[in-house]
Amino acid sequence: MNISIRQLFGRKPKSSNIAKQRLKLVITQDRLDVDDRMMMRLQHELTEVLAKYFEFSMNSVQVSLKHEGNSCTLVADFPYKEAH
Amino acid sequence: MGRVIVVTSGKGGVGKTTSTANLGTALALLGKTVVVVDADVGLRNLDIVMGLESRIVYTSMDVIDKQCELVKALVRDRRVDGLTLLAASQKNNKNDVQPAQMKAICDKLRSTHDFVLVDSPAGIERGFSNASAGADEAVVVTTPDVSAIRDADRIIGLLQHARIDPINLVLNRFSPELVGNGSMMDQADVVDILNINLIGIVPEDTGIITSTNRGIPLVYEESSEGAQAYMRIARRLTGQQIPIPDFAQKGLFTSILNWFTRKS
């Protein structure tokens, strides 16, 4: 609600929120000792394996870390290809 | 037996030395016996921030080298009872001190003082391991910006690994105006990211600059917001329950909105 009103008036998102989101991501990576290269490699290998079994739209594949409080989740998005 | 608290941050320039000087003085003003230890060998500053630079004769290095007794190396702060400083050597470097030697000094000091505050150098290397070697507690100082918070998280990880507990956070140079207009993270954001106990917020206070120029810790200037913040933190360190005031100024619109939507 808050965001949509702001977007309606064309305001930029608050820089403190951007800082927080960026920090959360980078700190999660720091804590787990993973870097972008490793995440890319993981995404690549996961894609190779899953492609044997499913058809999904390659360009919307996403593997990322989600940080919540003290815990952290690995989120892998492999959206199915839309049936025509 | 006194408590040994390392004051640390990871990043430099966030206010470790200023915080050590002010918390040390504040604790002494509360009637505690305190020794502040400069662990920044080679780049000592606690003496000049406290205005004691002209009175340093011996340093912790002289104690380690058995050139003088530990008690003789302590410089008494004449402005308040029960406060002394142990200076760091300016001629040596961090690798000239072993963590075990620092621990031995801290253990000796805790037998005669209520509080031993160790001012850690920036970084995660030898200087930090020396400073934290004898500590059972930590105060992590950070400012609300991305680099200081990232480095604080790294330091917190190292402190937890060393089983230092509790680890308390001081949020320094907090600007209510910048938080109000969304340009600075607030305390909830910082605590959400770092996930440790917040022991106090020190608002941005230009008085810090003049007090450092003069070598008189800010806490003596009772009317200043920074001084009051450090006094509250010192009280919390002694176990008193004092709520953290809400510094964030709300914008006019938010205030009006809150007025209309407030719960009865």
Chain segment B201-222, per-residue pLDDT in tens:
999 999 999 999 999 999 999 9
Is the per-residue pLDDT at B95 higher than 50?
yes
Question: Hey, are the CB atoms on A30 and B154 less than 8 Å from each other?
Answer: yes
* Run of H or E residues at B76: strand B75-76
Option in B157, B183, B193 nearest A20 (CB): B193
Q: Please judge whether B189 and A20 are an interchain contact, meaning their C-beta atoms are less than 8 angstroms apart.
A: yes
Q: Are B152 and B170 in contact (CB under 8 A)?
A: no
**Residue B264 pLDDT more than 50?**
no
What is residue B125's predicted lDDT score, i.e. its pLDDT? 94
Please tell me if residue A60 touches chain B, with a CB cutoff of 8 Å: no
How far, in Å, CA of B29 to CA of B234, rounded? 10
CA atoms within 13 A on the CB side of B213: 5
Cβ of B153 within 8 Å of Cβ of A31? The answer is: yes
Using the predicted structure, report yes or no on whether residue A27 has a pLDDT greater than 60.
yes
CB-CB under 8 Å, A17 with B145? no
Q: Per residue in B109-167, pLDDT tens?
A: 999 999 999 999 999 999 999 999 999 999 999 999 999 999 999 999 999 999 999 99
Single out the residue of B88, B139, B91, B95 nearest to residue B117, CA to CA: B139
**Contact present, B197 and B166 (Cβ < 8 Å):** yes
Which positions in chain A touch B153 (Cβ < 8 Å)?
A: 27, 30-31
What local confidence, expressed as pLDDT, does residue A7 receive? 54
Structure tokens at A39: 């995440």
Residue B263 confidence class, pLDDT cut points 50, 70, 90: very low
How far is it, in rounded angstroms, from Cα B46 to Cα A14? 37
For residue range B164-182, list pLDDT tens digits in order: 999 999 999 999 999 999 9
Closest-CA residue to B74 (of B22, B25, B37, B121): B37
- Give contacts of B146 with chain A, Cβ < 8 Å: 19, 22-23
- What does the alpha-carbon distance between residue B164 and residue B6 come to, in Å, rounded to a whole number? 9
State the ipTM, two decimals: 0.81
Q: How many residues can be counted in chain A?
A: 84
Average pLDDT over residues A42-61: 85
- Cα–Cα distance measured from residue B141 to residue B152, given in angstroms and rounded to the nearest whole number: 8
Nearest residue in chain A measured CA to CA from B189:
A20
A53-62, B32-41, B137-146: least confident range: A53-62
Instruction: Determine the Cα–Cα distance for residues B158 and B167; give it in Å rounded to an integer.
Output: 11
Q: Cα–Cα distance between B245 and B259 in angstroms, integer?
A: 20
Where residue B42 falls among pLDDT bands split at 50, 70, 90?
A: very high
Contact A31 B157 (CB under 8 A): yes
Task: Supply the pLDDT for residue A36.
Answer: 80
3-class SS of residue B163: coil
Average pLDDT, chain B: 94
* CB-based burial label for B96 (10 Å; 0-12, 13-18, 19+): middle
Of B145, B153, B179, the CB nearest to A27: B153
- The beta-carbon contacts of A51-56 under 8 Å, at least 24 apart in sequence, are A54/A78, A54/A80, A55/A80, A55/A81, A56/A80, A56/A81
Choice among A27-36, B93-102, B108-117 with the minimum mean pLDDT: A27-36
pLDDT for res B204 = 95
**What is the residue-averaged pLDDT of chain A?**
79
Nearest to B189 among A16, A27, A70 (CB): A16
What is the count of residue pairs from A and B with beta carbons less than 8 Å apart?
A: 38
Average pLDDT over residues B42-65: 97
How many Cα atoms sit within 13 Å of B16 on the Cβ side? 30
